[in-house]
Structure 1
């Protein structure tokens, strides 16, 4: 299974339109810190590729990797930075006179239907509360705390033959022990961490910071870790002293599990 990072930014991306901080200024010039909203492209031999989240940067992300058609996607939750591209995707399906499959837990699908009622004419909304199969991989969602923003879902991928595992948990904070359980021992953990060290009160926050993410990854003993959902607080030119098996995700990065 090959995973391509299409975007690794938080809800506003980097640069933020209103901001002239050093990171946003660098993103506008040399562009090392330029970040689109979080999304990944999953490819598996013998299967149609699978998009994971479809934010407002969807069109640009598809152009960047040269993809003209998306046949199926997973959604983590119904916040705009994760579903803002659904209307464009559905419209692309309309022009192609096809339908595509959109998988998410039922409560996420219901919220999508309320926000974008017409997309179901081209995107077949399919509940995956009980999990789903993708080739020789099993994909299971589970609900996680998203702080002041309510809830999100994470996904665990497990190869049914050899037990390889990886998890995608882009929007979470203060996971309970039950919510941490699917992360234990995964070969790869993709975890959202917006700030290096977030200074705001916990009741106002919605995503782990980098220091907390490192501690969580160490606690669950993930073999390899990629941090995504990065805000303009993260400067890729800095050395954050990450352990050797942990890295910041970058757009275009390809990982094989």
Structure 2
């Protein structure tokens, strides 16, 4: 499977429109820290490209990737930085006279329908609580703690031929032992870490920081880790002393599992 990062930013993106911090300033000039909202494009043999989350930067991400259409997608939860592009996607389907299929757990689909009651005119919403198949990969969602923001879902991908597995967990914090269990035996963990070290009380937070992400990685022991969902607290020009198997996601980064 080829995994392409269409976006690697948190809910506000970088630069934040109101902010004059050094990271946002750099993002407005040389642009190394410029970030769109987190989203992946997945490709594997014998299956069509699969979009993982569809935030408000969908149009720009599609243009940057040279894509005019995708026909399949996964959603982690119904916050606007993960579903805000569904209206653009649906409008594209309307113009093309096609219907795309979007998979998510039932409660996520309920939230999507509440926000966009008309969306199923052009996007077919399909529950995947029991998992789905994507080429040679078994795809399984599980519910994770999203702190003050309630819940999200993470996804585990297991190759049914060679046994390799990877997981995408963009919006989570303070996972229980039960929620950590699907993170075992991974070739790759893509984990959301918005800050280097978030200084705010735990009850006000919603996503791991990088220090906590490293602790989680040391516990579940994936072969490699990519931190995504990065806020303007993270400067890619800084050396955070990350282990050799841990990297920061970058827009356009593509890896193969």
Q: TM class by shorter-chain length?
A: over 0.9
**2:90 aligns to what SS in structure 1?**
helix
Deviation string, structure 1 residues 147-193 (Cα, Å, up to 9, x no partner): 00000000000001111000000000000000000001200000000
Counterpart of 1:160 in structure 2 is 160
Q: Provide the residue aligned with 2:207 in structure 1.
A: 207
Q: 1:221 aligns to what?
A: 221
Counterpart in 2 of 1:56? 56
Q: For 1:226, what is the secondary structure of its paired residue? A: strand
User: Residue 20 of structure 1 corresponds to which residue in structure 2?
Assistant: 20
Q: Secondary structure at the match of 1:78?
A: coil
Deviation sequence 1:102-134 (CA, Å, 0-9, x none): 000000000000001111111000000000001
Q: Which residue of 1 aligns with 2:109?
A: 109
Q: 1:54 and 1:44 mapped to 2: Cα distance?
A: 19
Other structure's SS at 1:153 match: strand
- Is 1:191 the equivalent of 2:191? yes
Distance in 1 of aligned mates of 2:218 and 2:84: 33
**Could you state the TM-score of these two structures normalised by the residue count of structure 2?**
1.00
Q: Deviations over 1:23-47 (max 9, x none)?
A: 0000000000000000000001221
The 5 A counterparts of 1:137-152 are 137-152=137-152
Q: Tell me which residue corresponds to 1:32.
A: 32
CA distance in 2, matches of 1:235, 1:185: 30
Gaps of 5+ in 1: none
For residues 251 and 204 of structure 1, the distance between their equivalents in structure 2, rounded to whole angstroms, comes to: 28
SS of the residue corresponding to residue 117 of structure 1 reads: coil
**Is 2:66 the partner of 1:66?**
yes
In the aligned structure 1, how far is the partner of 2:57 from the partner of 2:238?
Answer: 26
Quote the residue 2:87 is aligned against: 87
Matches within 5 A, 1:235-254: 235-254=235-254
SS in 1 for 2:124: strand
User: Distance in 2 between the 1:191 and 1:65 partners?
Assistant: 22
Deviation at 1:218, TM superposition (A): 1.1
SS in 2 for 1:172: coil
Q: How many pairs were matched up?
A: 257
User: Which residue is equivalent to 2:120?
Assistant: 120
What does the per-residue CA deviation read over 1:67-91, in whole Å, with 9 as the maximum and x for residues that have no partner? Answer: 0011010000000000000000000
RMSD: 0.4
